[in-house]
Amino acid sequence: MSYSDHMKEAQKTKTPTANGARLAAFRKAAGFSQVQLSGMIGIPQRTLSFYETGAENLPSGLVPVLAQALGVNVEDVLGISGEKATKRGPKSKLERQLDAVRRLPRSEQDFVSKFLDNVLQHAVNA
């Protein structure tokens, strides 16, 4: 079966695959529409719709891009359960912010750490 035949057949059925259903669930949990997410990752909305409804597999180059946009691990997008997994679904805003802080230069990390220490100390004393 050719790729175009496969695409036509998959579009007729519109039955979500396990990968597609998982992708749609992560997208919805992150609060994105198909239009928003497809714009963020640089693909047409129609292509994202196909990935959510009929594609058996996602293109390997797109998996890390989706994971980053959705705030989840690559393993989560692929449906691979890792031993380190403590929860399902996208990362919280705080977790995404902490990930961003980890990527900052050390001096900026120290500044953020001192700021958080002050905020937490005031909250405890209040």
Question: Digits of tens for pLDDT over the chain (126 positions)?
Answer: 666 665 566 555 567 788 899 999 999 988 999 999 999 999 999 999 999 998 888 999 999 999 999 999 999 998 887 555 456 677 788 888 888 888 888 899 889 899 988 988 988 887
The dihedral over CA atoms of 68, 72, 77, 80, expressed in degrees to the nearest 10, equals: 130
Give the residue extent of every domain in the chain: 3-83, 92-126
Q: 3-83, what's its fold?
A: 434 Repressor (Amino-terminal Domain) (1.10.260)
Of the candidates 23, 15, 62, 19, which has an alpha carbon nearest to the alpha carbon of residue 43?
62
The per-residue pLDDT for 66 is: 94
14 contacts 54 by C-beta, under 8 angstroms: yes
Which amino acid is it at 75? E
pTM (predicted TM-score): 0.56
Question: CA 9: distance to chain centroid?
Answer: 27
Half-sphere exposure of 43 (CA within 13 A, CB side): 19
